[in-house]
Structures are given as C-alpha cells and as structure tokens.
Amino acid sequence: MSFRTAFQPIIDKPEGKPGVLFYDDNAVIIEDKYPKSLRHYLVIPRHATKTHDHPLVAFDDDSEFYTLTKKYVDKCIDLVVSSLLRQFPDATPDTFRPFIQVGVHSQPSLSNLHIHVMTRDMWSPAMKHKKHYNSFATPFFVPFARLEPRESTDDSDDDNDNNVGGGAANADAWLKTGLRCCYCGTDFKNSFVGLKKHLDKEFRRKYGGLGGDLDDLRPNQ
Amino acid sequence: MSFRTAFQPIIDKPEGKPGVLFYDDNAVIIEDKYPKSLRHYLVIPRHATKTHDHPLVAFDDDSEFYTLTKKYVDKCIDLVVSSLLRQFPDATPDTFRPFIQVGVHSQPSLSNLHIHVMTRDMWSPAMKHKKHYNSFATPFFVPFARLEPRESTDDSDDDNDNNVGGGAANADAWLKTGLRCCYCGTDFKNSFVGLKKHLDKEFRRKYGGLGGDLDDLRPNQ
DNA sequence: GAATCATAAC
DNA sequence: GAATCATAAC
C-alpha cells in the first residue's frame, strides 16, 4: 500500500533526492522514474491538503491554486525544452513546445497530486504494455488546461469524451481500448509490438535531422 | 499439412538419414528429433498400408503384425538400455528396464504409425509445456501392451481409463488436465515451472550415483 | 514472471 | 512469439 505515497518523502524533503530538477516552497519538479517518453517530468505541488486530492477535483473552484500550479507547469515545460535543446542543437523551442503534453491520469496509481509534463513520442523502454500506452494516449490522460476552473456553469462547450466531472467512470475502458498511434492515429488493435515498431519510425522522423545522435538514445533495457 | 508425413521419407529410404539407429525391411528405429525424456526413440513400421492406420486400430485382429512390431519394440528397448549403460557405467539393465515406457499417442501429430520408446523421466529441454507433458504422462499415452489383440471378446478386465476402443474421445481433456509428477504423483495443477523443477529433482535422485556426470546432461537450450 | 494462445507438430 | 494475467505501480 505504501507505494501509493512514494512521492511523499520528496514532497517533505526534496533536497538531494535523486531525479529532483527543481523545488521551492510550493512545488517540486522531478524526472519520472519510469519515463514513458523521451522526456517525462512531473510537477508535484507541496500543498499539505491538495496533495491528497484527486487530480480531477483538486482545482475545482480554486483558480488561485490552478494559476499557481500552472506557473510550475510552465517552468517544467521550459525544463523539458531546454534539456532537449542541449541534446538536439539544430532544434528550436518551437520544435518541441507544440509536442509536449501536460495532464493528469484520471485514475492515478500514486496518490500524491502530480501533473505529467512529457513529449508526445511515447518512445521509451519503460513503455511496456497497452495500459502504459493508453494511460497517456487516450482520454484517460486529462489535459491540465481542462482542469482550469470556470466562472460559468454552462458546460455546453465541454468535450464529453474527457468528461472531467465524472472522468474516472470510463477510465478502465480507455486503458483497454485499441492501440492508436499518437502521431497519425493508425489503429494497431491489440498489437503492442506493431505499435512499438511504428512509434520507433515516427520517433526517428520527428527527432531525426535535429543534430542529435539517435543511436545514443537506443533503449538500454 | 506436409509436416504430418514427416516420417514418410525415412520409411521410404532410411539409409543415411540423421537419427536412424536401425532399419531392416520391416521397421526403422530413430531418435525422436524433440526428445521428451533423456532417451526417446521411435519404432516406425514400414508396412505400406499399416503406416496409415491409426495406432489404436492398426493392431486390431492382427496378432501377426503386433508380434512382428513387438520384436522391434524389444530391440528398441535394448538400444535405449545399452545407450544408457554407456553413459552410466555403474548401472545395470534392471536400473532402466522397468523405467522405460512404450506406447502410442491417442491423437498422433504425425500420421505415419509410430511407437514411442522412452525413459519415464520427462527430463528434457524439449519438454516445454503442459500438452507435451500430458501427452506422455496421462492415458493420452496408450501402452503398447494394451494394443495386443485378444482372442476373447470379454473385456471385463479392461481399464476403462485408457478406453482403447474409443480412446481418442477424452484425449483433449487429458492434455488439459492438472500436471502430476510421473514418479510420485504430486499434483502441480497448472504450474509447469513447478513441475519442471520437481522433475529435475526426481531426475537427479534417479540418475545420480550411477557413475555418469549429470552436469553433462544439463539442458543446452 | 508465468500461463495461455497460436503456431508448429518429429 | 506475443497477448494476457498478475504484480507492482514513480
């Protein structure tokens, strides 16, 4: 049961902890220990009670908390971009900014509130099975922007696919749905191996020619 | 479909074929290409029509064919024993003779009539899954002795478990039944890995102390 | 990691 | 060999 609070020690005392990229009184930014994309960081608010809220309700009626958290999300995006620019000298920030996704799991495994900030390549040796993939490539992954509190109660513009209010309802179904390429939408049904091979091609198309050495990035496990 | 007749070329022309241990006009004796025990040979009658008979009916009302085939089965047993004696100098023929099982599959994969002659250790890297094991360790495997034609029509002594007459009926069920050690009967349910580890122990108890080097016998794949 | 399914099956 | 299930899950 204790694995669910794996982030608590980092929240309590981020100093010197492995993977910590940044921290202040409000938040910690860490590298995901099992990154599911080339870059995969986490923003972890340090708020004593919000940390125990479900991500789909933590920002409800709390614009202040959303705005504060967004500041760290933006900082995290900057960290992802600058890290990639060091690896790909011919790229520009615009190469990567539209390619970064920010959001939360509608059923998080770890209970402390955390926001994923990651490139949308899903190219990683830690991406090992369908549930991993679908948790980031379907509406199981809820964009952070959709968590922004609204003044109006009129939700006629809402995209019901994401269904933030009762968003955990269809979560299991999304994890089991057919595998679709997050670049082009090609349907790989249940063929995870087929998807992985295709993602490798898409990755090389996306990241090739940016001055980096893709062979350095080969999976090491 | 052609794999089913894989033995036909050996029947037609055994000369110089790999794995052939003996042949004359009536039969060929070969090493099973995927041995499921330390020793696993096959007796293949060369009779032009009998070779296409199902093993559970090939010997019906044909004592002569049974007697002829038994001669080659006995020869095959001698070959197994002499081969083992070369490997285990401290053993005697009686170490192995009661430990050899002779019989047929009630649903053979290969269509040419063949009789299995094998040690009852099931210790082999080619023994890879439940169906392999149960095909030799349950009544799916029909002892050759039970195929001997009888004068009498009184079958009150028959063991209905083997049910030679309609023997293929429960064949699929036997392949799926729980895994039981062929030495001691211990039930391993569906744990093939558990069974394999136990068989390794039984093997070392049976074959240890016979002057051979068991380390030479370690699986090579 | 291991059992199951599909494939190959000796 | 690969998908599934169970386990672990960052």
Residue nearest to nucleotide D10 (CA to C1'): A33
Query: Can you give the pLDDT at residue A221?
Result: 42
Domain membership flag for residue B95: yes
Domain membership flag for residue B155: no
The per-residue pLDDT of chain A, averaged, comes to: 91
Domain membership flag for residue B16: yes
> Are the C-beta atoms of B145 and B77 separated by less than 8 Å?
no
The Cβ of residue B171 has, within 10 Å, a number of other Cβ atoms equal to 17
> Beta strand A115-119 with A40-45: parallel, antiparallel or unpaired?
antiparallel
Domain membership flag for residue A96: yes
Residue-number span of the structural domain to which A193 is assigned: 3-150+163-211
d(CA A56, CA A32): 20
The parts of chain B modelled with pLDDT lower than 70 are: 1, 152-169, 218-221
Task: For residue A94, report the phi and psi dihedrals to the nearest 5 degrees.
Answer: -70, -15
Residue nearest to nucleotide D8 (CA to C1'): A3
3-state DSSP percent of chain B in helix, strand and coil, to 5: 35, 15, 50
Tokens of A24: 């202040």
Footprint of strand D, using CB within 7 A?
A 3, 6-7, 32-34, 42, 109-110, 129-130, 190-194
Report yes or no on whether pTM surpasses 0.85. no
Q: Which residue in B126, B133, B119 sits closest to B195, CA to CA?
A: B133
Nearest nt to the B108 alpha carbon by C1': C9
Domain membership flag for residue B216: no
pLDDT tens per residue across span A43-78:
999 999 999 999 999 999 999 999 999 999 999 999
Nearest nt to the A40 alpha carbon by C1': D10
Q: Which residues contact A172 (CB under 8 A, 6 or more apart)?
A: A107
Q: How far is CA A150 from CA A60, A61, A154, A167, B192, in A?
A: 9, 8, 9, 17, 58
CA of A146 to C1' of D3 (A): 34
Domain membership flag for residue A216: no
> Which range among A95-109, A162-176, B20-34 shows the weakest confidence by mean pLDDT?
A162-176
Range list of β-strands (E), B87-217:
100-105, 115-119, 141-143
Residues 32-51 of B with CB under 7 A from strand C: 32-34, 42
Residues 82-101 of B with CB under 7 A from strand C: none
Look at residue A118 and give its three-state secondary structure.
Answer: strand
- Strand C–CB B189 distance below 7 A: no
Per DSSP, helices labelled H in B88-129 are: 93-96
The CA radius of gyration of chain B, in Å to the nearest whole number, is 18
Supply the CATH number for residue A193's domain.
3.30.428.10
Query: Can you give the pLDDT at residue B119?
Result: 97
Look at residue A161 and give its three-state secondary structure.
Answer: coil
- The pLDDT > 90 percentage for chain A reads 84
Domain membership flag for residue B28: yes
Domain membership flag for residue A218: no
